[in-house]
Structures are given as structure tokens and as C-alpha cells.
A and B are shown apart, each in its own frame.
Chain A
Amino acid sequence: MSAIIRSTAVAEFDVQRYRADFPALQRQVHGKPLVYFDNANTAQKPLGVIEAVDGYYRRHNANVSRAVHTLGSEATALYEATRDKLRAFINAPSRDEVIFTRGTTESINLVAYSWALPRLQPGDEILLTQMEHHANIVPWQLVCERTGAKIKVAPISASGELLLDQLDALLTPHVKLLALTHVSNVLGTVNPIARITAMARARGIPVLVDGSQAAPHLRIDVQALGCDFYAITGHKMFGPTGTGMLWAKRAILDSMPPFMGGGEMIKQVTFDKTIFNELPYKFEAGTPNIAGVIGLGAAIDYINALGIETIRAVENDLLGYATEQLNTIPGMRIFGTAPGKAAVISFLIEGVHAHDLATILDTDGVAVRSGHHCAHPLMQFFGVAATARASLAFYNTRDEIDIFITALLRARNMLL
């Protein structure tokens, strides 16, 4: 690990300038400066996002698409502008393929109910991986219960990497969908999606990618990735909660019936029949989270202005430093050591329970997650009930990592 050596770009990155954009980072917890290391759970929001939400309610508040007055036009323009930003953010071929949802969970459920449910039959299989979180497991279980299809699981190595040969062997003609995460929320592993979709495509198997943890850290290009579905959530990429997106290829979306009924997804309704609206509105029932979507647009602006490559470089530097420092703690066990992983570190200290650790760290102002991270099967793979997890963002600092390490040592000394 060469974390001590920093690239010039990273060394010159003025983190304090960016930290000033995040009001929550200025607050104190238990009289100590907040050290927020729970970014994979949800990220803090920059002022631009908060003001976009606030500004919508203060100036433009109106429903989208169905009001002809000025406020309605403004609201619609702001709302639809986020669709364009998202299209560019993931390099989708068309804005019509960008469906707003409440987040990744809803995006995956949309695919499960609207695409998978009418198609799957007994004997069919859905291939998942050992590192999926519950949002990419449970919807498929529900679909399987109703169709008689089965779930298969691609294994991972002890370092937390997908075993590609075994994944390849599992892509049999029975598999009707491969659904996997882009970046593991527990291990930080970045899966080689383009290679995996090539393997699946050679057998005509569509691929859904859960991009919740990738969107804040990696450049996403759905065309280069070669996937068929891509899901993201807004709140992990500095946007409001309750926002997200499903992208899918137009031909697939055209073949899918609406997920929910009502509102803007309707073109014409009689009591006999409904003619559904065109994409993307076919899948956007009811009055959406307009303020949230506008806030998500501001989050994308923020990421773009900073540059995803800068984010990745700064986070890599922090990851290296944090890993190095953690490994000096006696009894430290880190889960997930894949090369090129994202800045997520799951760990345990021998003899110390993750919950006790998190409670003690909290009193030092350090916020980490403890528990199973909604990834029970992964915890079972590693044979633990829970881990602690420090997940970093570009606005974190080496000084904060030092505070974290000192707090960990204090907790260890207290409990052992």
C-alpha cells in the first residue's frame, strides 16, 4: 500500500472548500466535530441540493406536466431537466429510457414485477451473487414464489471478488436474468460489469445492474457496460432521499406493462380501457417527488462540477490511508480486500462487537454503520453476525481518519 504517497492532484485538492458546501459536516455530535463515515448508508447533502429543494417549494411549487400555468411549466422544466442530467450522467441513448423511481429498491421491484413476473416459468432461474444486498434479493424471491422460478447464487472469493469462471458456468440456458451489484455496499468490490455482461450476452441473458453504490464513486456508462437495466438511488449520491432511477433499453421498456396505475402514466382512460402514455411516463404513476428529483439534478451538477475522477482519486487516497491505519490495530479483520475497491471498509476487532464499537465511536462524534448492512447472505458467507463499516466520501479527510483510529483504540481498550 502506497497511501503515504499522494498524487499531486489529490494533495492539491482543497477539501475544506468542499466541506463548506455541506452544512451537516459543520455540526457537532456529543460536543465533538462530526466525523461522518456512513456515506454508503446515505451521503450528506450539499447546499446546492438543499437550496434546489427549498427553491422549488418557495418559488415553483406546482404539479408537473398537467398544469398549463406558469408555475406548472417551471416545475415541469426543472423536473425534466434532471432527466436530461441523468441521461448524460449514465450515458443513456435516450431520455425516454430514464424512469424516475423512489430509489434502487423501487427500480428493482419495477423490473421484478413488470418484466420478470409475466415472463418467468417453473424451471427458470435468476442468477444473483453472494454479495447482493436485500434490495436485489427479496424482489426476486417474491417473483420466484409466484412463478416457480429459482434463484441461483454466484460465489465470491475470500477477498470478496466474484469468481468469474464459476459465474460463467452458472449462466446456463435456464437463467432468464442476471442481477448483480456494480459496487458492493459491504466489501467495496467493484465488479467488472462489462466483462460479465459480455458473458451473459453471448448466451442471450439480460443483465440488471444495481448501481446504488457505484453512482457516487464511478463514471457510469450504461452503453459501455452493456447491461440491460441499471438502477441508482439519489440519496447515496448527495441527492434527496426518495429519489432514484431505473434505466432500461427502450425495446425492453416497450415490452413491459406499467408497474403502477394512475396519474401521468395515463394517456386516455375510459371505464373499459386505458391507453398508457409513452415512455418514460408509462412507468411514472401519480404525483412524483418533484422537489426531490429537482434536488437530485442539483446533486448531479455538484458531482459534475467536482469531477467523478477527482472524487475517485481523493477517495482512493483516503481508502489507502484508512486501511493502513486500521491494520495497525491489534485484532483487526477487514472484510473485502479486492484490488480497486471503492472506499468502503467493513471490519471487526476480535472480541469487540460491532454495535458496542459504533456506540462508543458515536460518543467521539464518529458515525459508522454496524450490523449486517442488509446483506445477510454475505454475513453468513464470512461467518459473522455483523460488522462495523466505515464508508468514506470525498469530503472526508485524513485528520478524520486519525480521529476514527484513536476512537477505535479507545473503544477496544474499554471493551477488552
Chain B
Amino acid sequence: MSVANLYQQIVLDHHRAPRHYGALLQATHNAVGHNPLCGDHVRIELRIDEDVLRDISFSGESCAITTATASMMSERVIGLRREQIETLFVDFDASLRAGPGASASGDLGDLGELEALGELRRYPARLKCALLPWATLLAAWDKHPSITTETAESPTP
């Protein structure tokens, strides 16, 4: 097993230069997700207009896996409705368990760069790191101010 497959260039690129990082002007929703296992936290801000996610940003203190996930996720979810994001989350979760190349179930196309994180199936202790941004996004949408990985082990519609 080569750990370089997990920390491949695309993941490291998002870790070093995260997209959509920082505060969001005119945010309508926000939430903070905590990973009690390690003390990490990620804050997600959303601008939702007519039930569509118009913009997103994230910030906080997190490992490369969480940061890269949040960055890739942010690029992927703009323009989607809540149920579409939830479907992506389910697909993403499935790809983490099945590995890269798992097909997307909906009509949203593939997971894009997020597929790079499918290597996490070899690192079960790190799964929560990648699920946290998604769970936090959905919590923000649902106006829950905070969420922890202990309640976000699997997609919870």
C-alpha cells in the first residue's frame, strides 16, 4: 500500500490551496462541524437562494483530508439543490467504502475530483475526516448550528 495514493497530487493541491476558503459575504446559513476524535473543526457558510446553493465557503482547523474534501466539495455543490447535494453525499460515502471508480447513482454525473478520496477505504480511521464537511454542509442547510462526526458516521438525510 502506498500512502501516496491517498495523498496524491490532487488532494495535496486542494490542501495547500483550498478553494472557497474563508468567510462568505451575504451568507444565509452556517454551521460548525466538530471531530471530537481529534479536535478538528470546520465552519461552513452557505448562500441559499430559492432553494439553490448559490455560494459556499469554509474555514477552520483541519487535516489535509478534511480540508481537501471541503475544498473539492465546495467546487462541486454550487448550483445544486439540497436533495442533489444529499445524493452526492451518499455517492461520496459509497465511494469511500467501495473505493475509487464507484459509480454515481444519480443523474449528477461522477464525483469529479472527489473520487481521489476513494483511497480512504484503506484508512477506516480517517473516514470521518472526509465525511465532516458534508455533514456540516447539510447541517447548515437545515439550520443546525453544529454537528459532530459522532452523529455523522453515515449520510443522514
Contact = CB atoms under 8 A, between A and B. Distances in A.
Contacts of B123: 359
Interface stretch (B19-27, B34-42, B45-53, B72-80): B34-42
A355 B65 contact: yes
Given A355-B65, A371-B39, A414-B12, 16 more contacts: A354-B38, A354-B63, A355-B63, A363-B2, A371-B37, A371-B38, A372-B38, A372-B39, A376-B39, A384-B39, A385-B39, A385-B40, A386-B38, A386-B39, A415-B7, A415-B64
B6 A415 contact: no
16 contacts: A353-B64, A354-B63, A355-B40, A355-B126, A356-B64, A356-B65, A359-B3, A359-B123, A359-B125, A359-B126, A385-B39, A385-B40, A385-B41, A386-B39, A415-B7, A415-B15
Chain A binding surface SS class: helix
Interface of B: 1-4, 6-7, 12, 15, 37-41, 61-65, 123, 125-126, 129
B39 A379 contact: yes
Contacts of B63: 353-356
Interface of A: 30, 353-356, 359-360, 362-363, 370-372, 376, 379, 384-386, 414-415
Contact of A385 (B15, B38, B126, B129): B38
Nearest to B1: A30
A362 B6 CA distance: 13
A385 B61 contact: yes
B38 A355 contact: yes
B14 to A, nearest CB: 12
A178 B91 CA distance: 52
B5 to A, nearest CB: 10
Nearest to B62: A353
A386 B37 CA distance: 9
B71 to A, nearest CB: 14
B142 to A, nearest CB: 25
